[in-house]
Structure 1
C-alpha cells in the first residue's frame, strides 16, 4: 500500500484518485463521529470490493465469550465487543437498472474524498462509467451532527453525463449486520420490529445479553436540480430491513439528489418504550431545520471547539495536518457531555481492542481534556472510575485479593475486566497506578481538591490496599518485590520487578497516606464517613508504609540506570539500529517467544516513569536513561513516540523530538505500523497534543503555577496553542526568536518562563 497517498493540507484530509487497495485504510482515516455515535467512511452506495463496514453507538457493547484453549481461575468470562450497529447510511443507486458499484465500474475518474476537519463534514465526488456505458457524476456530503447528537445527514447527488438515464435511489436501514471482530460468530442483535410509514423507517433492536435497546431510523427527501420534488415510491420491508425506492427519468446534465436523515436513539437517554417517538422527534427537528441549516450549525459547533483546542503550526503543512487530525478525532470520540462514556482506543473507527476504557484515558487523555475544555470534563473521567470502584474490588477478589483491595481492569465497558490475554489481564497491573496518578494530576492542574474527599480517596485506598497485598517480602533482598508482571513494555511478559510498576506502586501508597492525613486534619466529616465505609485502621496504614519504604528497585551499577526488570541485562543487547528493517515491525514478523527474549521495547517503560515523575529525577538521570533505553525501543505501540518526543525536547534534542512528533502525529495518516485499515489510534492522539504543548512548549505545573520552557523545531516558523488553566484562557505563541503570552480575560496570571516569573494581564501581549 502507498503509505503517503493522503494529500497534505492544513485543514482537510484529502484523497484523490480511486484505489481499491486503499479503501479500508481510507474508511478508517475519513471516519466521522460526534461523541454519541460514529462510523467508518463506508460508501453510501453498494461496494462489492474489500471493505470494513462499521457504524457504532457509544456505550453499546456485547460480552463476547472469551475464546481460549484452557481456563484459569480469575480469567475474564468475556471480551467486550464494540458492536457494529444497524446501518442507516445505505443508499443503493441503480442507473438504467444497473447498480452503481465503484468496484465493478468500467472507469472511475476524478475521484476525490475530503474530510473537512475545520467544519466537521465528509464529502466525496467522482465520475463513473458503468458496465452499461452510462457515465454519471456523483457528489455526496455527510456529517454527524454535534448540535443534535442522535442525528446524521447525507446529501447525495447523481448527474448523468453522457445520456439520459433512469436513476433509482433506494435508501435503507439494515439490521442484518455482523462484526468484523467476533470470537464465536454469535448473533449480537435481536431485531424487535421494523416499521415504515410514509418516507420514514424505524428499526428497533436490542443487544443480546446486555439488552441495550436502540432504534435506528431514516427519512428521505428527493430534489431535482435543487428543487424538492414529491415522487411516488416503492417500499420494501423484512424482519431486519426497510427501504424506499425513488425512481426518476433524469435528463443528461440534470442533477437528481436525495437527502437522507438518519441515526440512533438509545435507552441510555430515553425510555425503551418511547424510542420510536424519540426518533420521530429527532426527524421533525431535522426537517424543521433542513440539511443546509444543520450543516451551518455543524460548522459553528466545530468553530467553538477549534477556538479553544486548535494548535497552529507555520511553515510545515505536514506537521499542521497531523496535529489537527489528532485533535479532530479526539473531539469526534469524546466531548465530555456524558459521564457514563469514555474514550475507546479505536473510538468509532474500528473494533480492535474491544472495550471503551484503558489506562490510556488517565495517562494520556485527561491532560488534553483538562487543558482544552472545562475542567468538569476531566472530572467526569475521574468520576467514571469512582463509579466502577466496586467492580474494581470484585476484579481483585477474583484474583484472591481481599479487604477492599481494588484492581482496575485493563479493558472495560462497565468496570468489569474483559481483556482476555492472561499476560495482560493478570500481570499488567501498572494500570492501577495511572488511575491514582490521574487524581493527582487533576488536582495539580485544576487546584480543585474537592474531588479527593468526596470520591477520590476511596479509590486511592482501594489501590493502596492492592499494592500492599501484591508486593511480597524477599528475605534474600531484604526488600519488598513485585513478581510476575508485565510493564508498559508488553514485549516482556511475566517478569519480576518491573521498575515502573514497583515505582508507581510505592508512589500510590505514599500518595494515599498523604491524602488520608490531609483529609483527617482538614475534612473531618469526610474522613469519618470514609474510614467508617472502608474500615481502615492505623495499623493497616503502617503495613502499607512498610512496603512503600522498603520497595526494591533493580539498578545497574555498571550502566548507572534503573533496570526495566531484573533480567534485562541477561538479554542480547543488540540495538534497533542493527535490526534488519525487513523484520519490522517485529510483532508482524517474529514469534512471540522470540520477541519476549529480545531486548526490544514496544513502548516507553522506565521512561514512562520518568515522564510521570519528572520532578523526582535530575535532568542528567533522564538523559542517561533516555540514552540507554531509546536505542532498544521499536515504538510499535502508538503510545510510545509521544513520551519520547516530550523527553527529547526537554533534553534539547529538537531534531529527535521533531522526528518523534511526526511519528505520533502521522502514525495513522502515514500508517507507520501497517494496521490503519483496522481503525485509528485515538487515545495516543492525546499524546500528540502533549508532544507539542508539554514537549516543545515545555508546559508544566510547578508550585501551583503554569511553567513554560519554549522550544521550536527548526522546520517551523512558529506555533501556537491555548490552555484553559483554572478557568483562565492563556494563548501561547512560540517563534524562532521569541514567545508571546496573551490572557483572554479574568485576573492577572503569574507564570514561569524559563524559570523566571512573568505576570500576564488580560488583553496585554507579553513577549519573552
Structure 2
C-alpha cells in the first residue's frame, strides 16, 4: 500500500484567509495558483503586481472561462475517428502588472529592503490584498497596498486599487500601467497533463487605442477566429499628475505612464478598472461597447461600493455553503479554500463549465471533464442548485456536438467528449479518452441527482430528458446481447474511471452506470407521458422515439451483465482484471509516482493496479445497490493496489472508510484531499488547483463524516467524527428545504431552517421535521 505524502504548510492557519507573511521566491509558481482571484468567468492568476525578474519562476496569466483557441492534433500514426482538432483555454491580455518607480529606483522585491510584507487571500471579502513597507537602496521608504478583485456580481468586471504612502521622503513617483497583449500560453512539457498544442502566441491584434487614462485592446485568435476585448480606465485620488499614454497595435500594447509629486506621509491611490468581453458573449461588433458600459458603470459606483457588493455576495454564499469544522484549524482553512475556489472557478452562463484546474492555470488545457458532474456538481446541487442547473444547461448546449461525435463513430444517439471546451473531443489518447464511454452516464447521473434534489421538472422537459434519451440510445447501440454471457447485455472495449486499465470488456463501473442511465431514461419517458403530453410529443417527434425503443432500453437494463466473482466475493473491475499479477505498491520507490510519468502504459495495463477508485466509486455512487459486505470486501481488495496518482482518488476512499468505521484512515485520506493544493502535496499546484479534489473534499465532509445519503426519496444520515474533529456543521438544500446539520462527538442535531417539512433518517430512525424544529440524537461511542 502506498503512503500518502505529507508536508508542512507555508501558510498561517487562518480560518477565513490564506496568508503569506514572508515572500519566498522558490514558492512563486505555486503561490500564483493559490492567490488567484476569479469569478467563474474571469480568472486573474495570482502574479505579483510588479514584474517577477526571473521569468522561469513565474507564469503571468489571465483567463476567460470558455474562451479558447483551436489547434491541430497530429499523430505519427493516426486513425479514423481520432480527435483531429483540439481546443485550449488561452491566456488573454494582462492588466495586473505595474511598474512603480520612486525617483529613479524601481520598486522590486528583489532589490532594496522589505521591512514588512503580507499577502492575503480573504475569502469573506473576495479580494487579494498585499501590503509592503519597502526601502530603496538610497533609503527612501514607502508603504504600498495592492488590492485586487474579480467581481462576482459583475462577471465581466474587475478592479485593482493601489495605495502609496511615502514614509520618509517627498519626491517624484511614476506608475506604468498596461494592457499587455503579449500574453502567451505554456508549450508542451514532459508532463502530459500540462500545456497544449496551441501556438505560444495565438492572437492577432485588430484594435488598440488610448485616451489619457482610458484604453482598449481587441485581439482575435488565429484558428478558432474568436475575438475578445479588454478595456481599462484609471481613477486617481489626487490632482497634479501627468499622464502620457500610447497604444501600439503592432506591439500588442496599451501603456499609461502616470507621474506625480508625492509628499511625505500623504496617501495616494490609483484604481484601475478593467472589463473583458468575448465573441462567445456578444457579437464581435458589440464587444467594445459592452466593455465601455461596464467601465462607465464601475466608475459611477466606485471601488468602495464594488468591494461592498463583493462582500455582500460572499456573505450570502457562505450563509448557504459554509462548512464549520472545529478541532483542526488547517482543515477549516482548507475546506473553505476549496469551496471558495469552486465558486471562483465555475461558469454560470450556460456556455462554460468548470475546468479541471479552474481559472488558475493551464493544466489539462482548460478542458472540462467528468470531474464537473461526479466531483463538483454535488456541492452545487445541495447548496446552490441554480448553479448546478446552469452547468447542466451547458452540457445541453453541447448536445449537438455530442450527436455528431456519436455519428462519426458510427453510433446512434450522442457521445459526449472526454475532454472539451466548446464540444469537440480534445483527447488525443483515445484509450484513456474516447474509450471512457461512461462520460455519458456520469452526466446523466448528475441530471438524476439534480432532479431528485430539486424536482425541477421544467429543466427535465426542456433540457435534461433529451440528454438522457440520447445517451440511452447511444448505449443501446454500443453493446449487444452476448450468447457467451448467457444472453446478457455486454459492452466491450471500454475504459473505466481507472485509467491504469484500458480497453477492457465489461468494465463494472460502466455497465452499472449504463444500466442506471437506461432505467432513468425509461422512467423519464413514462413521467413525461403521464404529466406533460405536449412536452412528451415534442420530444418524441424531435428524437423519433417509440415505445419499442423504450422497451429495448428496459430489456437491456434488466439483462445487463454485472460482473461478480463468487470465489473472491468482489466485483471484478472488468473481465480480465483479476487474472493479472497484483502490484505491491510498497516496493515501488516514491519517486516513481505518478506511474504515468515514469512507466510505459503497457507496463501499467498488464498489472492489477489502479490509478483511482473504479469499482469503489461505483459502490459509492450507487450505494443502494450494494451490501455492507460488498463494500467491505471490495474496499479490502482494491485499496492495496490503488496508487492515488489521481487527485480524484483519496476523497472516495475517505468516504467509504468512514462507513467501514476506519476513522483514522478516513481522516488521513480526507486531510490529504483537503490540503492537496495549499500544501502542494502532489508538487503540481503550480499548474493550477485540483478542482475535482476540492469537490471531493466537500463530499468527504458531508457524505463521509456527515454520513449523508440521498436515496429512497429522503435524506439519510449516519454521522461519525474522527478524533481530530470535535464539531462539524453544514447546510443542505433539498426539495426547497434548507436543513442545518450539527455533529459533535456525542450528539447529532438536525434543524429545518426553511421549508414546510422534510422527511429524514438518522441511522435506522425515520422522522419528520417541520420548519423551525430541531431533532437531536445521541451518538454511540
Shift of 1:23: 0.5
Aligned to 1:424: 432
Question: Per-residue displacement from partner, 1:517-562 (whole Å, max 9, x unpaired)?
Answer: 3433444433333222222344444544454344333433332111
Relative distance call for 1:233 and 1:591 in structure 2 (3 A) is same
Alignment of 1:733 onto 2:739: no
- Alignment of structure 1 residues 496-515 onto 2, 5 Å: 496-515=505-524
Gaps of 5+ in 2: 1-5, 187-194
Question: Per-residue displacement from partner, 1:151-202 (whole Å, max 9, x unpaired)?
Answer: 2111223444565553210111111211123425264222111121131111
Q: Check the 8 A contact 1:222/1:230 in 2, yes or no.
A: no
SS in 2 for 1:83: strand
Cα distance in 1 for residues equivalent to 2:563 and 2:629: 19
Aligned to 1:290: 302
Relative distance call for 1:766 and 1:529 in structure 2 (3 A) is same
SS in 1 for 2:652: helix
Shift of 1:451: 3.3
Question: Per-residue displacement from partner, 1:238-257 (whole Å, max 9, x unpaired)?
Answer: 11111111223435555443
Picking from 580, 583, 587, the partner of 2:596 is: 587
Picking from 571, 590, 594, the partner of 1:562 is: 571
Cα distance in 1 for residues equivalent to 2:547 and 2:296: 61
Alignment of 1:22 onto 2:30: no
Relative distance call for 1:527 and 1:260 in structure 2 (3 A) is closer
SS in 2 for 1:601: coil
Q: Check the 8 A contact 2:19/2:119 in 1, yes or no.
A: yes
Relative distance call for 1:763 and 1:461 in structure 2 (3 A) is closer
Alignment of 1:437 onto 2:445: yes
SS in 2 for 1:118: coil
Relative distance call for 1:760 and 1:550 in structure 2 (3 A) is closer
Cα distance in 2 for residues equivalent to 1:256 and 1:664: 43
Relative distance call for 1:525 and 1:280 in structure 2 (3 A) is closer
Relative distance call for 1:271 and 1:598 in structure 2 (3 A) is same
TM-score, with length taken from structure 1: 0.94
Picking from 212, 218, 228, the partner of 1:204 is: 218
SS in 2 for 1:411: coil
Cα distance in 2 for residues equivalent to 1:138 and 1:380: 40
Aligned to 1:458: 466
Cα distance in 1 for residues equivalent to 2:25 and 2:17: 21
Aligned to 2:189: none
Cα distance in 2 for residues equivalent to 1:2 and 1:257: 39
Aligned to 1:220: 234
Q: Check the 8 A contact 1:3/1:671 in 2, yes or no.
A: no
Q: Check the 8 A contact 1:720/1:732 in 2, yes or no.
A: yes
Deviates more, 1:521-530 or 1:502-511: 521-530
Q: Check the 8 A contact 2:751/2:774 in 1, yes or no.
A: yes
Relative distance call for 1:272 and 1:582 in structure 2 (3 A) is closer
SS in 1 for 2:389: helix
Relative distance call for 1:194 and 1:437 in structure 2 (3 A) is same
SS in 2 for 1:140: strand
Alignment of 1:48 onto 2:53: yes
Alignment of 1:85 onto 2:99: no
Question: Per-residue displacement from partner, 1:647-681 (whole Å, max 9, x unpaired)?
Answer: 11222222122111111111111112111000001
Q: Check the 8 A contact 1:78/1:420 in 2, yes or no.
A: no
Shift of 1:3: 5.7
Q: Check the 8 A contact 1:35/1:58 in 2, yes or no.
A: yes
Cα distance in 1 for residues equivalent to 2:62 and 2:653: 34
Aligned to 1:320: 332
Cα distance in 2 for residues equivalent to 1:544 and 1:473: 12
Alignment of 1:408 onto 2:416: yes
Cα distance in 2 for residues equivalent to 1:279 and 1:439: 35
Picking from 363, 366, 371, the partner of 2:374 is: 363
Cα distance in 2 for residues equivalent to 1:251 and 1:550: 83
Q: Check the 8 A contact 1:169/1:258 in 2, yes or no.
A: no
Relative distance call for 1:701 and 1:274 in structure 2 (3 A) is same
Q: Check the 8 A contact 2:157/2:275 in 1, yes or no.
A: yes
Shift of 1:511: 2.6
Alignment of 1:250 onto 2:262: yes
Cα distance in 1 for residues equivalent to 2:351 and 2:343: 16
Relative distance call for 1:170 and 1:487 in structure 2 (3 A) is same
Aligned to 2:3: none
Cα distance in 2 for residues equivalent to 1:186 and 1:764: 59
Cα distance in 2 for residues equivalent to 1:742 and 1:285: 42
Cα distance in 1 for residues equivalent to 2:475 and 2:246: 60
Shift of 1:129: 4.8
SS in 1 for 2:318: helix
Alignment of 1:397 onto 2:411: no
Q: Check the 8 A contact 2:227/2:284 in 1, yes or no.
A: yes
Aligned to 1:649: 658
- Alignment of structure 1 residues 341-360 onto 2, 5 Å: 341-360=352-371
Picking from 109, 115, 125, the partner of 2:131 is: 125
SS in 1 for 2:351: coil
Cα distance in 1 for residues equivalent to 2:143 and 2:762: 56
Cα distance in 1 for residues equivalent to 2:139 and 2:78: 59
Shift of 1:570: 3.2
Question: Per-residue displacement from partner, 1:283-326 (whole Å, max 9, x unpaired)?
Answer: 22222222222212211111111111101111210110111001
Q: Check the 8 A contact 1:67/1:183 in 2, yes or no.
A: no
Alignment of 1:71 onto 2:78: yes
Q: Check the 8 A contact 1:720/1:731 in 2, yes or no.
A: yes
- Alignment of structure 1 residues 592-607 onto 2, 5 Å: 592-607=601-616
Cα distance in 2 for residues equivalent to 1:712 and 1:499: 31
Picking from 259, 266, 271, the partner of 1:259 is: 271
Cα distance in 2 for residues equivalent to 1:762 and 1:536: 43
SS in 2 for 1:23: helix
Shift of 1:55: 0.3
Shift of 1:640: 1.3
Alignment of 1:175 onto 2:192: no
Shift of 1:707: 1.6
Question: Per-residue displacement from partner, 1:352-409 (whole Å, max 9, x unpaired)?
Answer: 2224422122212222112112x3332232222223222111101111213xx21111
SS in 2 for 1:122: strand
Aligned to 1:33: 38
Alignment of 1:299 onto 2:304: no
Picking from 594, 612, 628, the partner of 2:621 is: 612
Deviates more, 1:315-324 or 1:491-500: 491-500
Question: Per-residue displacement from partner, 1:117-136 (whole Å, max 9, x unpaired)?
Answer: 12111011234455666554
Cα distance in 1 for residues equivalent to 2:591 and 2:421: 38
Gaps of 5+ in 1: none
SS in 2 for 1:435: helix
Cα distance in 1 for residues equivalent to 2:368 and 2:101: 43
Q: Check the 8 A contact 1:342/1:356 in 2, yes or no.
A: no
TM-score, with length taken from structure 2: 0.92
Picking from 388, 391, 400, the partner of 1:378 is: 388
